Amino acid sequence: MRQIVLDTETTGLEPKQGHRIIEIGCVEIVNRRKTDRHFHQYLNPDREIDDGAFNVHGIGNDFLADKPRFADIAQEFIDFIRDSELVIHNAPFDVGFLNAELKKLGRKWGKTEDYCSVVDTLMMAREKHPGQKNNLDALCKRYEIDNSERDLHGALLDARILLDVYLVMTGGQETLSFDSSQEQQAADQTKARIVDVNRKPLRVIEATPEELAEHEKYLERIKEESGGKCVWVDSGYE
């Protein structure tokens, strides 16, 4: 199964007010294993960035002045996410902005959901941890995931952190990466041992008469102290 963990940064909170995407970050998982493939792009929004948004991500208009528009990278982005399952924290926010950008390109582009399915990790976290903080920082602390590099929000960094959170929250990585020596060692440990039928018989050490007599006395004491009940004696195993 191919999944894409995605995050965006924007000029503000509401696409209906004309706010735009300024950064897209995506990382790929295949069968719950991280791959080296990712998609990352800064975008020129052709509008000012709200002060509140700038305080969150630290991305300014001067930095974005020479960056491509969404229209310039739309096909590459769609090709990257096509036929995957998007994993997004607070999916309605990011999907809402993506669909607003696609709408600006024309009806033929459709919606994000036309290209892939979407999983919202915020909803998952709220179901697993009701009544608790479930933002990305809180989940990192809860699952002991290192987010020390996250002084400000960044789409690619946040996507990589969310990937780790998602794998832990949904049960961890199902398959670990081993080098050849580790694989061989694991295989050797799980092999059944084949015993040589011609080997020398094991030595059996039998109890001496004195040891048997002491054992009998011990069983009788158990029987007396338990009100006449001793499973070992009553069953005839002695």
Q: 137 is in which domain, residue-wise?
A: 2-169
Is beta strand 85-88 parallel, antiparallel or unpaired with respect to 33-42?
unpaired
Q: Is residue 196 part of a domain?
A: no
pTM of the model: 0.71
Same domain, 135 and 206: no
Same domain, 12 and 76: yes
Q: Is residue 178 part of a domain?
A: no
Dihedral angle, C-alpha 42, 46, 50, 51, nearest 10 °: 70
Residue whose tokens read 């999916």: 91
* Strand segments (E) across the chain: 2-10, 21-30, 33-42, 85-88, 117-120
Same domain, 42 and 115: yes
Same domain, 223 and 162: no
What is the per-residue pLDDT for 231? 59
Same domain, 147 and 232: no
What is the per-residue pLDDT for 201? 65
Q: Is residue 185 part of a domain?
A: no
- Burial label for 208, CB within 10 Å (0-12, 13-18, 19+), is exposed
Active-site amino acid positions: 153
Give the pLDDT means over successive 10-residue stretches in the chain (238 positions).
97 96 97 96 97 94 97 98 98 97 97 97 96 94 88 88 95 48 46 52 73 78 70 56
Q: Is residue 183 part of a domain?
A: no
Domain-ending residue, one of 152, 169, 186: 169
Q: Is residue 193 part of a domain?
A: no
Enter the tokens of residue 222: 């158990």
- Tally of structural domains, the chain: 2
Q: How far apart are the C-alpha atoms of 101 and 198, rounded to whole Å?
A: 77
Domain-ending residue, one of 146, 169, 192: 169
Q: Is residue 221 part of a domain?
A: yes
What is the per-residue pLDDT for 179? 44
Tally of residues, the chain: 238
Same domain, 210 and 149: no
At 99, which CATH number? Answer: 3.30.420.10
Q: Is residue 176 part of a domain?
A: no
Same domain, 83 and 141: yes
